[in-house]
Amino acid sequence: MKFNTSIPASLKSFYQLELSNYQTAFANGDLTTAWNHLERAHILGQQYPFAHSLVHWKMLQFGIKIKSRKEIIGQIPRLLLGGVKSFVGTVPVGNPGGANVPPLKPFPIAKELQDIFIQAGIKS
């Protein structure tokens, strides 16, 4: 069993860019693009407990801001358990993290994100 801690420096800039793009899109009122960037940040950071938990926190805040009861309720258990699953290396790879998908279902990783993992020297 592999214990993950913090996101590697080689991947961190890509993860942070997604969070920055989320904030910009949200501030501009483009909720669809904002959410897409949160999902991408989730996929990039889901193997690392702090990065994973931060995205779920931001998804919970997003749910609150748009008054989505489903997202709020769906994010609470993800926020509480996601980081633990990351720490012990048992995340459903590729899962975008929203309440609109099953929390334990793996998903294919988009080629663009696969390329980021390759560039960062991370096995996805």
Question: pLDDT tens, 4-32?
Answer: 778 999 999 999 999 999 999 999 999 99
pLDDT tier, 44 (very low <50, low <70, confident <90, very high otherwise): very high
The answer on pLDDT for 88 being more than 90 is: no
Q: What is the pTM of this model?
A: 0.93
- The whole-chain average pLDDT of the chain stands at 93
Q: Per-residue pLDDT tens for 48-85?
A: 999 999 999 999 999 999 999 999 999 999 999 888 88
- The answer to whether 100 and 78 have CB atoms below 8 angstroms apart is no
Q: What does the pLDDT average to over 89-93?
A: 87
> What CA–CA distances, in Å, run from 64 to 40, 76, 80?
20, 12, 17
What stretch of H or E contains 17? helix 9-27
Q: Look up residue 99 and give its amino acid.
A: A
- Residue listed under structure tokens 């801690």: 5
Give the mean model confidence (pLDDT) for residues 93-101. Answer: 95
> What's residue 12's pLDDT?
97
Instruction: Look at residue 5 in the predicted model and tell me its pLDDT.
Output: 79
Q: Can you give the pLDDT at residue 1? A: 52
